[in-house]
Amino acid sequence: MLVRVEYKDLGIIDYQEAWDYQEVIFNKTIKKKLENQANASGNEDAKYNILFCEHPHVYTLGNSGEEQNLLLSGIELLAKNACFVKTNRGGDITYHGPGQIVGYPILDIEALGMGVRRYIESLEEAIIRTLKHYGIKGELLDGAAGVWIDPKIVGKARKISAIGVRTSHYVSMHGFAFNVNTDLDYFGYINPCGFTDKGATSLEKELGRKIDVEEVKTLLLKELINIFDLELL
Q: What are the tens digits of pLDDT across the range 48-107?
A: 999 999 999 999 998 878 888 888 888 899 899 999 999 999 888 889 999 999 999 999
Rounded CA-CA distance 74/77 in Å is 5
- 140 — pLDDT class (breaks 50, 70, 90): very high
pLDDT value for 193: 54
**Residue range(s) defining the domain that contains residue 178:** 3-232
Rounded CA-CA distance 231/82 in Å is 37
Distance, first Cα to last Cα, the chain: 15
pLDDT value for 215: 98
* Residue 224, number of CB atoms within 10 A of its CB: 27
Q: Please identify every residue annotated as catalytic.
A: 193
Q: What are the tens digits of pLDDT across the range 145-202?
A: 899 999 999 889 999 999 999 999 999 999 999 999 999 999 989 876 555 567 899 9
Listed residue (197, 209, 182) closest to 95, CA to CA? 182
CATH number at residue 208: 3.30.930.10
User: Nearest-5° angle of CA 91, CA 94, CA 95?
Assistant: 155
Our count of domains for the chain comes to: 1
pTM of the model: 0.93
Rounded CA-CA distance 65/85 in Å is 12
5-35 burial: b if 16+ Cβ within 10 Å, else e: bebeebeebebeebbebbeebbeebbeebee
